[in-house]
Structure 1
Amino acid sequence: MERMEMAARSRSLTSFAELIHGLESRLLNASFGGHNLTLRTHTIQTLAFKLGCNFTGLSLRSAALEQVPHVRGGQGLGVARASTPEILRGLKAQVPLAMQFPAELTRDACRVHSRELSLICICFSNTRFFQKDINSSVLNNYVLGAQLSHGQVSNLSEPVNISFWHNQSLEGYTVTCVFWKEGASKHHWGAWSTEGCRTEQPSPSQVLCRCNHLTYFAVLMQLSPAPVPAELLAPLTYISLVGCSISIVAALLTILLHLHARKQSDSITRIHMNLHASVLLLNVAFLLSPVLALPPVPGPACVALAATLHYALLSCLTWMAIEGFNLYLLLGRVYNIYIRRYVLKLCALGWGGPGFLVLLLLAVKSSVYGPHRIPLSDSQGNSTGFQSTSICWVRDPWVHGVLVMGFGGLTSLFNLVVLAWALRVLHRLRAREKALGPRACWDTVTVLGLTVLLGTTWTLAFFSFGVFLLPQLFLFTTFNSLYGFFLFLWFCSQRCRSEAEMEASSSSQMVH
């Protein structure tokens, strides 16, 4: 085993599978006089023992459990229940670990092989043999696995229970039970997966994994965002549902009105319609996201929807920035600007840019998308353990920070700068041409309404802390769920203004 560890440092990642399978094979086929065999290095500890077909279940615990007051009974690793065949001693883990095997474990194997079976347990205290997850770390760096001779063990009706303890409270962290799935990654010999495993948290420092198969198990841990108060989940969900539904109807109506009068459309109107289309896609994807994140459903459909939702948000933010840029050109160039195939180039940026980023993420590692757990807190602000709600969304905090919060912050900042500059320009215009005072005021209101709706409400996302959390939750949810409706009101006001100007121009020509 020592030579295996030294060789692992110099061999490629693809050789890890051969090393681990070789260790498993030697342990499963080992002959030893007693009922169990224990081998130990600095980072790998193994335990092998014999089972008969009269197996009735087994509980294994590390010696460190003696120091945990809420764990009953046991001395050493192999403290079995009264009905189990052996009392075992072995693993000297620095933190408590435990595994509980059901009687069903040997049932299928004994139908084919009536002779003695071998069960091995392997504990890695270093994750070098396993691919690191990009959005979380392995709890205590422990990977605990088990294998049974004569075939794979899967689809158990009574799960295998694996317990991990930490020396501190895990409140404030999102913990997820995972198993090592071979062949699930193109760049490694496997990847972490949650299929067939359920996560529970009996106490703040314990994580209980209930899995219906045997393999290598671990707990992925990542820092949780500020938890949402549980009592606010229902009203926030209701506001989102009503607001997004209204925005969907408003966006559809706006696009239909535009298509009806498309002969009169110009580049400015077409830019607005692309923004409405991105808002429509964003609201539809957001409403479907919690539905596909329900426990029986998460899978490829949830990953696809999460990628679609991320794409829609990036597109919406990009079109917001395009609106600000277009406003700068209109006012800065005094309505005298021509760019060849201007709208086509903007569409390539507004739709193609986000699409390229999302496809790149899917190609590099699709696991950045999937079910994202939103933790909830009780009335005192304490985390409620695993009481949470889930949506199909970005799971990697780095991607979320850079491509969501970072990009959204830059868009909001850019539009705020354009807003301040546009108001200054219009203020100067009103001061110089007093006769155009009412028109200048109208322009100020128009620019203010357009740019605020295209940027400033998203800045509320950066105030989700401390005393700002509760007001931010309601304001952000209300304003941004109704975003499509506000754009519809602005579209109607601009159309009414355009028709009023056309009537005034026709009346003036008739008088002359």
Structure 2
Amino acid sequence: MDTQRSLFFCLCLLVAQSVSAETPTTLLNLMKRLEKPVGRALSSRGSHRNIHHLEQMLLNASFCGHNLTLQTNSIQSLVFKLDCDFSGLSLSSTTLANVSQARAPHAMQFPAELTKDACVTSRPAELRLICIYFFTAQQFQDDSNSSLLNNYVLGAQLDHRPVNNLQKPINISFWHNQSLEGHTVTCVFWKEGASEHGWGSWSPEGCYTELPSPSLVLCRCNHLTYFAVLMQLSGDPVPAGLQMPLEYISLVGCSVSIVASLLTMLLYAHSRKQSDSVTRIHVNLHGSVLLLNVTFLLSSQMALPTVPKAVCTALAAALHYALLSCLTWMAIEGCNLYLLLGRVYNVYIHRYLLKLCVLGWGFPALLVLLLLAIKSSVYGPCVISFSNSQDNGTGFQNVSMCWVSSPIVHSVLVMGYGGLTSLFNLVVLAWALWILCRLRMREKALSPWAYRDTAMVLGLTVLLGTTWALAFFSFSVFLLPQLFLFTVFNSLYGFFLFLWFCSHRCYSDAEAKAEMEAVSSSQMTH
């Protein structure tokens, strides 16, 4: 037995010497080659090949023991031998050997679920987990020359197989001593083939950003690849103390609006004027508001790393569709109001309501489906940052929701579309008020009409959704008042429409009752 053990150790020693003489030298040379700065075009193509070559060599390297560590000036490579009884692994730069203490600390934590899929069909004798840490970002330059926290890129790969959609996320910790004031930090991964000129770009899909302390960014991701923390200049910061009040207002307001929209649609269904096109336009507007509130409440609950990417993408697309539909039906209300007030005797449109439904529901669906067909990655987790400046001024607290993740699409199909709708309805509202004032100027006694005119103006303002124009005042001293006014008015939009319906219904009933009394009195006179 002792002889066999001695032979085994001798064999391991020979293998270790062989590896020490050849394999580590080749790997170190390749790692040093990756460190050399080259031109951008050559860097994109060369880095792609060299990094994949390094991965393959690490996966196939032979060594004695359970792990292998290689270190150059700016790259560190780790190889671990795992099996199907894997119970998890925690790596920290404070415990790893040969790590310069001058570098900012970092850590990676892998769950036991990591090897589950690899061991379902078979139980391989050995699995390789490789970790490659880049302490410079020159190998991962995207088209935007994005800035990364500490310039760190931490990567991991399990054997020759992809690891996706983990139920328990991989935790990647980035410590730093930088001030994040004026910046938004987002956990991202390197997505190959997602760039025109480089070999990839940064994407937040499948990653959730947390800031447990002012000096730590924690990334929770449901897949294995290369990870980093993207630093972007943010607009005017929102204090983190406002996060809970705004979330509470949104939750209560949207819940009230959902109930109000459902109740209004039921009352419209039992209305005596079901064939009236104006009534049916109102019903469609309520339907779009109902869909918008429901998808909005769900979107913040589905932007978690444990939720499959397809679910968040579908919900983000549904939320975008609901918003576009709601804005379109607001514009239709404005157009219909113009036809009623301005050209009441001169217009007839064949199948008017059907054409409006195709426009109000079909056009937004066409835009969203077109985006999904061209590039579905425009939808996904979107990070909203709240400044922690009151807590020693050192960072941000992030909140994620399923929404439009592309800045270009957000600018064109959210802000642009909403801006045109708000502008059109503001013009219609001003024109309607001008007609109202002109009519009242012909009346000698204005006081009896004052209350009804005020209620009509407020009702038209709600009906046309002009409060959405508040979204364009989110800057400078207007930011905080705009946030609260926009959140209150637009989360309760369905409730305000319900009040408009009730007042309009009461006024119609009063008019009908007055007409009946007038008819009955004239009949008694005759």
TM-score (norm 1): 0.72
Pick from 401, 411, 421: which aligns with 2:421?
411
Which residue number in structure 1 is paired with residue 368 of structure 2? 358
1:254 aligned partner, one-letter code: T
Shift of 1:332: 1.7
2:36 aligned with 1:25: no
Q: Quick one: structure 1 residues 239 and 199, their matched pair in 2 at CA, closer, same or farther if it must change by over 3 Å?
A: closer
Where 2:300 maps in the other structure, the secondary structure is: helix
* Cα distance in 1 between the residues matched to 2:72 and 2:169: 29
2:338 aligned with 1:307: no
Cα deviation digits, residues 267-297 of structure 1 (max 9, x gap): 1111111111111111222222333335544
Shift of 1:344: 1.5
Cα deviation digits, residues 222-253 of structure 1 (max 9, x gap): 34454443333333333323322222222112
Q: Kindly report which structure 2 residues correspond to 1:32-111, keeping only aligned pairs within 5 A, or say none.
A: 81=95, 87=98, 96=103
* Cα distance in 2 between the residues matched to 1:404 and 1:327: 24
* Cα distance in 1 between the residues matched to 2:487 and 2:91: 50
2:56 aligned partner, one-letter code: S
Pick from 125, 137, 145: which aligns with 2:137?
125
* Cα distance in 1 between the residues matched to 2:515 and 2:37: 85
Pick from 408, 411, 419: which aligns with 1:401?
411
Unaligned runs of 5+ in 2: 1-29, 83-88, 119-123
Where 1:337 maps in the other structure, the secondary structure is: coil
1:323 aligned partner, one-letter code: E
Q: Quick one: structure 1 residues 381 and 476, their matched pair in 2 at CA, closer, same or farther if it must change by over 3 Å?
A: farther
Pick from 396, 399, 402: which aligns with 1:389?
399
Which residue number in structure 1 is paired with residue 244 of structure 2? 234
Shift of 1:489: 1.6
* Cα distance in 2 between the residues matched to 1:310 and 1:240: 17
Moved more, 392-401 or 438-447: 438-447
* Cα distance in 2 between the residues matched to 1:421 and 1:292: 43
2:424 aligned partner, one-letter code: F
1:364 aligned partner, one-letter code: I
Which residue number in structure 2 is paired with residue 317 of structure 1? 327
Pick from 431, 440, 450: which aligns with 1:430?
440
Where 2:395 maps in the other structure, the secondary structure is: strand
* Cα distance in 1 between the residues matched to 2:503 and 2:99: 79
* Cα distance in 1 between the residues matched to 2:54 and 2:333: 61
* Cα distance in 1 between the residues matched to 2:38 and 2:459: 66
Pick from 455, 458, 479: which aligns with 2:468?
458
Which residue number in structure 2 is paired with residue 75 of structure 1? none
Where 2:301 maps in the other structure, the secondary structure is: helix
Unaligned runs of 5+ in 1: 61-79, 90-94
Q: Quick one: structure 1 residues 359 and 384, their matched pair in 2 at CA, closer, same or farther if it must change by over 3 Å?
A: farther
Q: Quick one: structure 1 residues 321 and 30, their matched pair in 2 at CA, closer, same or farther if it must change by over 3 Å?
A: same
Q: Kindly report which structure 2 residues correspond to 1:218-233, keeping only aligned pairs within 5 A, or say none.
A: 218-233=228-243
Q: Quick one: structure 1 residues 439 and 96, their matched pair in 2 at CA, closer, same or farther if it must change by over 3 Å?
A: same
Shift of 1:256: 1.1
Which residue number in structure 2 is paired with residue 243 of structure 1? 253
Where 1:336 maps in the other structure, the secondary structure is: coil
Where 1:170 maps in the other structure, the secondary structure is: coil
Pick from 240, 257, 263: which aligns with 2:267?
257
* Structure 2 contact 143–195 (Cα < 8 Å) conserved: no
TM-score (norm 2): 0.70
* Cα distance in 1 between the residues matched to 2:171 and 2:492: 47
* Cα distance in 1 between the residues matched to 2:168 and 2:252: 41
2:431 aligned with 1:421: yes
Moved more, 388-397 or 348-357: 388-397
Which residue number in structure 1 is paired with residue 289 of structure 2? 279
* Cα distance in 1 between the residues matched to 2:222 and 2:334: 54
Q: Quick one: structure 1 residues 28 and 47, their matched pair in 2 at CA, closer, same or farther if it must change by over 3 Å?
A: farther
* Structure 1 contact 37–47 (Cα < 8 Å) conserved: yes
* Cα distance in 1 between the residues matched to 2:111 and 2:462: 62
Where 1:261 maps in the other structure, the secondary structure is: coil
Which residue number in structure 2 is paired with residue 67 of structure 1? none
Pick from 513, 517, 521: which aligns with 1:503?
513
* Structure 2 contact 59–159 (Cα < 8 Å) conserved: yes
Pick from 481, 489, 498: which aligns with 1:488?
498
Shift of 1:259: 1.2
2:363 aligned with 1:332: no
Shift of 1:257: 1.5
Q: Quick one: structure 1 residues 336 and 285, their matched pair in 2 at CA, closer, same or farther if it must change by over 3 Å?
A: same
* Cα distance in 2 between the residues matched to 1:57 and 1:422: 67
* Structure 1 contact 57–103 (Cα < 8 Å) conserved: yes
Cα deviation digits, residues 87-143 of structure 1 (max 9, x gap): 378xxxxx95665578999x999x9469x998765566346677879xx76557764
Shift of 1:338: 0.8
* Cα distance in 2 between the residues matched to 1:310 and 1:360: 13
Which residue number in structure 1 is paired with residue 277 of structure 2? 267
Where 2:402 maps in the other structure, the secondary structure is: strand
* Cα distance in 1 between the residues matched to 2:289 and 2:111: 52
Pick from 169, 188, 205: which aligns with 1:178?
188
Shift of 1:303: 2.6
- The number of residues matched between the two structures is 471
Cα deviation digits, residues 328-375 of structure 1 (max 9, x gap): 122221443211122222212211122222222323333333333332
Where 1:293 maps in the other structure, the secondary structure is: coil
Shift of 1:179: 3.2
* Structure 2 contact 313–380 (Cα < 8 Å) conserved: yes
Where 2:257 maps in the other structure, the secondary structure is: helix
Q: Quick one: structure 1 residues 210 and 455, their matched pair in 2 at CA, closer, same or farther if it must change by over 3 Å?
A: closer
* Cα distance in 1 between the residues matched to 2:339 and 2:206: 52
Computed over aligned residues only, the root mean square deviation of the Cα atoms, in angstroms, reads: 5.0
* Cα distance in 1 between the residues matched to 2:222 and 2:493: 45
2:506 aligned with 1:475: no
